[in-house]
Amino acid sequence: MHCTAALLRLKTAAPRAPLLFPVSLYCSPSCPSTRSNSTFTTPSLPANPTINFSTMAPAGVQLTLPIPQGAEHILSDDALAFLAVLHRCFNKKRLELLDNRKKVQAELDKGKPLGFLPETKAIREAPSWQCAPAAPGLQDRRVEITGPTDRKMVINALNSGAKTFMADFEDSNSPTWSNMVLGQLNLYDAVRNQIDFETNGKQYKLKENHAVLLVRPRGWHLEETRMIVDGQAMSGSLFDFGLYFYHNALETVKRGFGPYFYLPKMEHHLEARLWNDVFNLATAYCKTPTGIIRGTVLIETLPAAYQMEEILFELKEHSSGLNCGRWDYIFSFIKRQRALKSAVFPDRTDVTMTVPFMNAYVQLLIQTCHKRKVAAMGGMSAQIPIKNDPTANEAVNNKVRADKLREVTAGHDGTWVAHPALVPIAMEVFDKHMKGPNQYYNRREDVNVAAKMISDPKVPGAITDQGVRENIAAALSYCAAWISGNGCVPINNLMEDAATAEIARVQLWQWNHYGKSTDSGKKINVQNLKPIFEEEAAKVAKLPGISAKHVQIAKDYMLSQVAANYPSEFLTSDLQCHLDGGAVPRKAGLLPRVREAHQTWSSSALVSERWRAGADWLMDRADVLDPSNGGEAAAAHCPTHCQMNHRAGFQPSSTLHHSPHHGSTSLLSKPTRRTLRLSLDPLSMV
């Protein structure tokens, strides 16, 4: 049965009139009730609905940590109300789409291969549709620089001579509360050219003609657990996007560009449709001109490589192209094909852009983008200058030149660098080989990429002792630094981000899981890896800014991942509970799930009286037990309230399992935790 357009009510806590408007549904793009394969029209929101902003703090919204000093206007009541609207409109669909990823993985584990979607064949084959024209400041993107959002980095990147700067709230950022909020403050000031500051006698001042600003929010999988809406953690994506857009959308237009974004980690075109609906709602809510938003999608997951055209189609009114997120793509390739012994890779250094599966993905991306008249952006050169060694530094520069030459001659319209010193090197290569602002004219009609070419795991090379050690060192160094609040870490003359640690993590798991040996004959197993972990951990602990405690956390985590049946989805999700001194809950929004389960099951004849009694007990104490109300407060109240109802068959307990570093259900007694678990799975007690 095909879907039809629905009306979605904006639920705001402040006393404003409800607003009704259509939001596109999440059926197939070929669904005739929402769009036509001949005209490809997309439902859109009205441009300027009547919305009265409120100065009242929104009910149902809670910040679990104080607002950093000087950033109070960033998290104003009106801004929080907008974030709450985004959460209430889109979080349910976000969670459904994340659940769909698990279903796809289950099919892959059973041996079902990935491929191009038959239901969207008409979209791929239609020659007529194109994406929106390049927005102001995005016609020429030949060199882009990326980095986190600290004040000094923002100024240096905008002044670097690059065409654009991607300010990163994702992989090169450790999402501590201060990093996220002060990062928004820095971008707010940068947009208004009021970011100048002085430190240690050195002035940092923004140039008049600087790079165009783009912003990368966190991926759909990450949560902003310091902001709770209706008992649920806010989506990190919506938090980052929402604050930047709310404060800066109109200001960027006044200054000659617009609210431009990089969209990471998507695995399905319906995730792109969700972004498109977010853009439409934000435009309507904030009364901005239509068509000013642009989003460049990072193709950095294996499933997304099969849906590039569909992703562009979903975002076509807002699309500014695709980018080869090469390092995360390798990570996703290994993770999604974890059940294939044939997909075991050699050393990370052997998995280059010229191996067959990487080359196929690059060629298809360029062809797809130019077919639809948008930018095909190349990947990151993570090298950094080597001081006091001219010979080694020139070798680094030559690597960058070769990488950029490969990209521009393949047809890319621009590239990424991680350090300002590399901007003129990359610019020289693109200036020489790309005379116009882009290469949209190069349609790459010679390219014919079959589905099996994208997932071909054949990579020449070997697993070496050095490769094993480098993976361990990189994973430990990055994870320990990330927990300490630094998400952009120089390692072996490379500026590494989370993708580096992710590749190291899944490769170590892969080699252990499939019983591989190094080329010297050493068996790769946990027993043999432990001494190397100890040696490298001792080295990392001596690095500035990293505590022994954080190194221990990183080491324990990595060893557990190596020994796991399967690696977890993202280390950033796993380790977030250790940020801000352990103040971040491991899992937010548990009790709202209890409430939902209670409402669903309490009237059902399938569940027992015993379950109902336990769930009723929880409902009576929801405010006390909810970990989003604060660990210490919950711990203080639990001893007097955790007297379990005898009708539920539990023994009274006043013993707390309190860990401020882990939060969530570790605050509660064993019987309480059992009741929470049973409330979410009531049929286990039938």
Active site residues: 216, 497
Q: Nearest Cα to 550, choosing from 575, 527, 569?
A: 575
Whole-angstrom CA distances from 428 to 147, 323, 420, 431, 601 are: 21, 21, 14, 5, 65
Query: Would you say 3 and 260 are in contact if contact means Cβ atoms under 8 Å apart?
Result: no
C-alpha to C-alpha distance for 91 and 461, rounded to whole angstroms: 43
Query: Would you say 476 and 533 are in contact if contact means Cβ atoms under 8 Å apart?
Result: yes
Looking at 10-65, which runs of residues are DSSP E strands? 20-23, 61-63
SS (H, E, C) 375-435: EEEEEEECECCCCCCHHHHHHHHHHHHHHHHHHHHHCCCEEEECCHHHHHHHHHHHHHHCC
Q: Nearest Cα to 613, choosing from 627, 591, 598, 595?
A: 598
Classify the C-alpha dihedral 68-177-212-310 as positive or negative: negative
Q: Nearest Cα to 597, choosing from 587, 588, 606, 585?
A: 606
Whole-angstrom CA distances from 652 to 234, 591, 621, 633, 638 are: 34, 21, 15, 21, 12
> Residue 297 has which token pair?
């999608």
C-alpha to C-alpha distance for 88 and 462, rounded to whole angstroms: 50
CA atoms within 13 A on the CB side of 169: 33
> How far, in whole angstroms, is CA 381 from its chain's centroid?
20
